[in-house]
Amino acid sequence: MIPEIDNKFEKFDNDLYDELSMKNHPNITPSDSSYIEIARLQESRYFNTSKDSYFTIVKLYHQNFNIKKKGLGFNVAPFTFKKGVWYEFDEQGNLIKETDYDQPFTFTFEDILKFCEKHGIKIDIGPILPNTGWHNDIFRDIQNGKPIWRIEHLKKTNLVEVIKIDGVTGKVLET
């Protein structure tokens, strides 16, 4: 359910990009076990979401194709909910920063999944393809120095419910 990320240096995979570009659309391709989005841009990127995971492996690269940042993001919107440790590198590929986004959340993602299941809120697993309609979403943030979870789900066809949950106690703060 949670892919592994390490702090090792790497370069953008130009060979994979070229191979996928010849077979399919240059930036997006489905595979047997995951959905890969790869783009060679000013800030090149690689996203990979396994069919059995809630998380996307996110890798961003400097212009020289050396790794810039890598970590895990929630499959619906990888930059709104970062999971675990994210690693940042300088242009030479030296590790310069590690940020653990799970701190100080003691009410965990797994606890949020249990909450959603208990309340009948469906959370999609695997790749979330573009333009496929509404997908319930989970966010987390630090607000006024306190960890907060936010769940946005389609309660009715024309009503989105937002639930704010304390990231330490799991108490519902606001609906």
- Is the model more confident about 64 or about 132? 64
Task: Read off the pLDDT of residues 66-91 as tens digits, 9 standing for 90 and up.
Answer: 999 999 999 988 888 999 999 999 99
Any alpha helices (H) in 72-168, and if so which ranges?
Answer: 109-118
DSSP label at 112? H
| Domains defined along the chain, listed by start | 14-100 (no CATH), 109-174 (3.10.450)
* Burial degree of 131 (CB within 10 A; 0-12, 13-18, 19+): exposed
Look at residue 155 in the predicted model and tell me its pLDDT: 93
Q: Report how far residue 39's alpha carbon sits from residue 19's, in angstroms, rounded to the nearest whole number.
A: 12
Q: Report how far residue 61's alpha carbon sits from residue 44's, in angstroms, rounded to the nearest whole number.
A: 5
Task: Read off the pLDDT of residues 139-151 as tens digits, 9 standing for 90 and up.
Answer: 999 999 999 999 9
Which pLDDT band holds residue 33 (cuts at 50, 70, 90)?
Answer: low
Is residue 25's pLDDT more than 80?
no
Backbone angles phi, psi at 21, to 5 degrees: -65, -35
Which pLDDT band holds residue 28 (cuts at 50, 70, 90)?
Answer: low
Task: Read off the pLDDT of residues 100-117 as tens digits, 9 standing for 90 and up.
Answer: 999 999 999 999 999 999
**Is the pTM for the entire model greater than 0.95?**
no
Which pLDDT band holds residue 17 (cuts at 50, 70, 90)?
Answer: confident
Element (H, E) at 87: strand 82-89
Q: Report how far residue 154's alpha carbon sits from residue 174's, in angstroms, rounded to the nearest whole number.
A: 16
Which pLDDT band holds residue 53 (cuts at 50, 70, 90)?
Answer: very high
Using left for φ > 0, alpha for ψ between -120 and 50, and beta otherwise, residue 109 falls in alpha
Joined tokens for residue 78: 């990888």
Is residue 26's pLDDT more than 60?
no
